[in-house]
Structures are given as structure tokens and as C-alpha cells.
């Protein structure tokens, strides 16, 4: 009998249509007093009928999810060149340390004297982040980069209020992450876009014209989403500060210059740091995450609580502060994620973190040089951690960036980020990071060059891709707009 192909893996309901009454665990009958659900729960949460749960054994469960896992691409399999996402390898030592019971069994409500090691981990991480960014203070509370943005902008709003100002505008470059204008709006500001210059960096004249007494802050991604370093960042910061505004630096791309430059010296007042992007903690899957924010002296009084403080007797948690913006979430953050990041930092050391950054930039430039000519590069500016090509050469043959992405799956690579940033039409945004060696980078480049040749000689092949994956091309737009959920009627 031929073994079932992965693409034919059925749903649980479809695997057991005859209701064989299998189950994974047999529990003894409950012989204690029972309380009818209706006597303790409101009627609107009670079901009229018993849900149609599939009847499966433990082996059914394990084999099903194992086979599904084989359909997924993962960072442990190979290069994950998603631009702006910085998909890095997660070292196993991080997981081993996070698995120690002294850490993972700690409770946030334990007395300070029982969790001195936990508090020191958070304190040490703050000290590392301050050293890496050249900033005055840190909050570890934010659960992600966007949450960190909100923390920073709320601190800026409170600082403005403390000096009696009610500014209403936040300036956001057209090359920024989409979370930046969303954060500004959520915090009660009006986001106003400013243009990039021909070099892909912020147009200083456009910023000068927009920077008036209504502007609370400028949100800059450094390097920006084009992979371009804002080389006039010091001038930008001086201009904004001279007119009473603050500089928020989106630190999603910090991996490009760790150990080589300090945002604090550039003039940043607040900066979130995506620990998953720069310091190797798990990325994706719905959480938990961490996006600490470092701040300048000007915002130090407004840091969220609770936070760790150091005294002569050790470490303790500060739970209230009249100047603080308050608490952003329960307790002090995603501790085991924070721990993983510190393990990575201490394992790498200062020299290792610098080499990490330099290697990521080197690999991005190798990709740029190898693919130049085969793919169009809209901004011919020195590349940092990522490079943004577009599909304008391939469009002449009827092949678009989505087709290139699908074909890349046949070569065993995850596609880069598609159609972002929006200032580059048909963008192919590639960020290799330092996780994989030059052999993997070269193999990726060879695949991209082969696809460019196919787009020219056999475009129909690329347009019909992927050909070798368990699931062929699907209509993502139709699937998103016309979601269909299958139900199985009980016999």
C-alpha cells in the first residue's frame, strides 16, 4: 500500500468518520459531588449540544502533528531571508538555561529576597542594553517591538505634558515600519508622512519644513527599511531637539550596528529593541515576546513600573512612581525571553556582538553584489543589514515578485519579504543575518540567479510555481476574503 502523501493529510474529523470512540487517556469515573453547569455559569456560555470532538488516540495525535510539522519551513532548516524581520538562529543553550527550574518556576509575586537571581538577570540585561545603546535607562516590560513603540511615545507624551505642551503631530518617514504611524495614532497623535530623498534617507529639507511647534516627535527606523543608514541622523536629531521635539528610534534593525555605533550619541530619546531580531530569542508563533525600550535622560523619570532597582541589600522591585506612565502589562515582562537574550549576550561578549553585526552586513552586501544586474536596485546607496531589489526587470517577461517567491520554494529556500517597503514597487527585501555561513548565502544567490534566468527564458515555469512543494500555489487573496470552514456531520 502506498504511503499517504503529506499533501493528503486529512483533518481529524475526516480521519475518523465512523466515530470509533478512541481516546488518548482513560480517566476513572468521577464519584464526587457534582454541580450542574447551569447553576454556576450564565446561560449564554452554555452549549445546547455536546461538541463534535474527534475521537483519536495519542498516536493519532502525535503522527498527525508531526506530519503537519514537515510541511513547515523553519529557521533550523536553512536561510530565512525575510527583510526587516531579522530571522536568526535560536541557540540551544538559551533554551537549556531557560529550562532551569530556578528560573522557570519563579513566580512574579514571590518576595524579593527569594528571587534575587531573577531580579539580577533583569538588572544585568538592562545594563547590557544601556551599554549597547548608550542610553540612560531601560524598561523591560513591553511584549514586542510595537508595544515598545507605544511605551516610548507615551513617555514622550508625558514629558511634553510635564513642560506644559500639548503637541499633536508625530512625523514618520515614508520608509518606516507600518507600526510607527499606527503607534502614533494609538497614543493620541496625528501621524504625518515625510518623504525620503533620492538616496533613500530622510529628506532633511522636507523634515525642516514639517518640524514646527505642533510636532511632538519624529519616529525614525535606523537603518531604515531600505537597508540604508540615516547618515544625517545627528543633524536630524539636532533639528528636532532645537524645536522642542523628541527623537524616537525604531530599533528593529539594531542588528546592523551593534557594537559599532550608539543611538544615544546619535540623539535618540527612546528606542525599542526587538530581542528576537537582534539577540536570538524565539521569533513568531504568537509569543511570548519582548521589546525593551531604552531612553535618554529626558525620559528617565517616566519609565513604566514595576522595574528593578539596586540597593545596598541587593535587588528589589519598584512598584509605583508618581512620574511613571504606569504599567504596560502584568508584572515585569516576559522573563524567560529576557533571560534567553542575556544568555546570548553573555555568550557572545562585546567582541562577538560586534562580529555578529559585521557579518550580517557583509552577507547582505555579498547578496547585493551577486544579484546586481539580475534584479533592479532602486536605491543605489550603501547597503547595511538588508538589500531591497524589485521585480521591474522580470515584469517585462510577465513575472512578478510573488512568482519569484513561489519559485524560490522549489529551490528549498524561504522567500524574502515581498512588496515592502511600499516606496519600492514589487520589492524583494532580503536580509540574510549572520546565522548561516557563506555557503548558504552562495546557494541562495545561485537560486535567485537561476530564477532570474528562468523568468527570461521560460516565464511560464516561474508563473506556475511552486512545483515541488506539498501544497501548490493558492489564491491568498481569495482565501483571506472567503474563508471556508469545513464541518462534518455526525452519522
Q: Which three cell numbers stand for residue 171?
A: 512625523
273 shares its domain with 358? no
Q: What is the pLDDT along the chain (491 residues), one digit of tens a residue?
A: 344 556 677 777 776 655 556 767 777 888 888 888 888 899 889 988 877 677 778 888 888 888 888 888 887 788 999 998 888 889 999 999 999 999 999 999 999 999 999 999 999 999 999 999 999 999 999 999 999 999 999 999 999 999 999 999 999 999 888 899 999 999 999 999 998 899 999 999 999 999 999 999 999 999 999 999 999 999 999 999 999 999 999 999 999 999 999 999 999 999 999 999 999 998 865 567 899 999 999 999 999 999 999 999 999 999 999 999 999 988 888 999 999 999 999 999 999 999 999 999 999 999 999 999 999 999 988 899 999 999 999 999 999 999 999 999 999 999 999 999 988 999 999 999 999 999 999 999 999 999 999 999 999 999 999 998 888 888 888 888 887 766 555 54
138 shares its domain with 236? yes
- Look up cell 487573496; give the residue: 477
The pTM (predicted TM-score) of the whole model is 0.87
d(CA 54, CA 23): 9
124 shares its domain with 193? yes
Q: Are 14 and 55 in contact (CB under 8 A)?
A: no
Number of domains in the chain: 2
Residue 2, domain member (yes or no):
no
217 shares its domain with 318? yes
330 shares its domain with 378? no
Would you put residue 134 in left (φ > 0), alpha (ψ -120 to 50) or beta? left
Residue 125, domain member (yes or no):
yes
323 shares its domain with 363? no
State which of 286, 320, 347 marks the end of a domain.
347
233 shares its domain with 373? no
Query: What pLDDT does 280 receive?
Result: 92
Query: What pLDDT does 6 receive?
Result: 61
Distances (CA, A) of 433 to 73, 424, 436: 17, 22, 8
Name the pairing type of β-strands 293-295 and 137-139. antiparallel
Is the preceding peptide bond at 466 cis, omega within 30 degrees of 0?
Answer: yes
State which of 290, 325, 347 marks the end of a domain.
347
Query: What pLDDT does 26 receive?
Result: 74
Q: Are 387 and 227 in contact (CB under 8 A)?
A: yes
CA 12 from chain centre, in angstroms, equals: 32
Query: What pLDDT does 485 receive?
Result: 67
State which of 290, 321, 347 marks the end of a domain.
347
Let me know if 29 is exposed, middle or buried by CB neighbors in 10 A (0-12, 13-18, 19+): exposed
d(CA 97, CA 50): 43
Query: What pLDDT does 307 receive?
Result: 94
Phi, psi of 341 (to 5 degrees): -65, -40
CATH of the domain at 457: 3.90.1150.10
- Domain residues for the domain of 114 are 92-347
Amino acid at each position: 500500500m502506498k504511503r499517504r502523501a503529506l499533501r493528503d493529510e486529512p483533518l481529524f474529523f475526516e480521519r475518523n468518520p465512523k466515530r470509533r470512540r478512541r481516546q488518548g487517556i482513560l480517566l476513572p469515573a468521577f464519584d464526587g459531588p457534582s454541580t450542574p453547569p447551569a447553576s454556576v455559569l450564565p446561560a449564554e456560555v452554555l452549549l445546547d449540544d455536546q461538541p463534535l470532538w474527534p475521537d483519536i488516540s495519542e498516536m493519532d495525535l502525535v503522527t498527525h502533528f508531526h506530519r503537519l510539522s514537515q510541511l513547515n519551513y523553519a529557521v533550523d532548516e536553512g536561510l530565512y531571508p525575510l527583510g526587516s524581520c531579522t530571522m536568526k538562529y535560536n541557540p540551544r543553550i538559551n533554551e537549556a538555561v531557560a529550562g532551569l527550574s530556578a528560573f522557570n518556576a519563579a513566580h512574579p509575586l514571590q518576595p524579593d529576597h527569594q528571587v534575587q537571581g531573577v531580579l539580577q538577570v533583569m538588572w544585568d540585561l538592562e545594563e547590557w542594553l544601556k551599554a549597547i545603546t548608550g542610553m540612560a535607562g531601560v524598561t523591560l516590560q513591553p511584549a514586542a517591538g510595537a508595544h515598545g513603540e507605544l511605551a516610548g511615545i507615551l513617555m514622550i507624551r508625558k514629558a511634553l505634558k510635564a513642560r506644559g505642551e500639548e503637541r499633536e503631530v508625530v512625523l514618520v518617514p515614508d520608509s518606516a515600519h507600518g507600526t510607527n504611524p499606527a503607534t502614533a495614532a494609538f497614543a493620541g497623535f496625528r501621524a504625518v508622512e515625510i518623504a525620503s530623498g533620492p538616496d533613500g534617507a530622510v529628506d532633511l529639507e522636507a523634515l525642516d519644513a514639517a518640524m514646527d511647534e505642533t510636532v511632538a516627535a519624529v519616529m525614525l527606523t535606523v537603518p531604515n527599511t531600505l537597508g540604508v543608514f540615516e547618515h544625517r541622523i545627528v543633524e536630524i536629531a539636532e533639528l528636532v531637539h532645537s524645536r522642542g521635539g523628541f527623537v524616537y528610534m525604531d530599533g528593529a534593525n539594531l542588528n546592523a550596528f551593534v557594537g559599532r555605533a550608539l543611538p544615544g550619541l546619535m540623539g535618540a530619546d527612546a528606542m525599542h529593541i526587538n530581542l528576537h531580531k537582534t539577540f536570538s530569542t524565539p521569533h513568531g508563533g504568537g509569543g511570548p515576546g519582548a521589546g525593551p525600550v531604552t531612553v535618554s535622560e529626558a525620559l528617565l523619570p517616566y519609565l513604566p513600573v514595576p522595574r528593578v532597582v539596586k540597593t545596598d541589600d541587593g535587588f528589589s522591585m519598584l512598584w509605583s512612581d508618581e512620574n511613571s506612565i504606569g504599567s504596560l502589562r502584568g508584572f515585569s515582562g516576559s522573563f524567560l525571553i529576557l533571560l534567553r537574550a542575556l544568555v546570548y549576550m553573555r555568550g557572545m561578549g562585546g567582541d562577538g556582538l560586534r562580529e555578529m553585526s559585521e557579518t550580517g552586513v557583509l552577507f547582505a552586501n555579498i547578496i547585493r553584489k551577486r544579484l546586481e544586474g539580475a534584479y533592479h536596485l532602486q536605491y543605489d546607496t550603501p547597503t547595511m543589514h538588508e538589500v531591497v531589489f524589485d521585480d521591474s526587470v522580470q515584469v517585462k517577461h510577465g513575472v512578478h515578485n510573488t512568482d519569484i517567491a513561489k519559485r524560490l520554494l522549489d529551490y528549498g529556500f524561504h522567500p524574502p519579504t515581498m512588496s515592502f517597503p511600499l516606496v519600492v514597487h514589487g520589492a524583494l527585501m532580503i536580509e540574510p543575518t549572520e546565522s548561516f555561513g557563506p555557503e548558504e548565502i552562495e546557494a541562495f544567490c545561485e537560486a535567485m540567479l537561476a530564477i532570474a534566468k528562468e523568468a527570461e527564458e521560460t516565464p511560464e515555469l516561474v508563473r506556475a510555481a511552486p512545483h515541488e512543494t506539498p501544497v501548490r500555489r493558492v489564491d491568498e487573496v481569495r482565501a483571506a476574503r472567503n474563508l471556508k470552514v469545513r464541518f462534518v456531520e455526525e452519522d
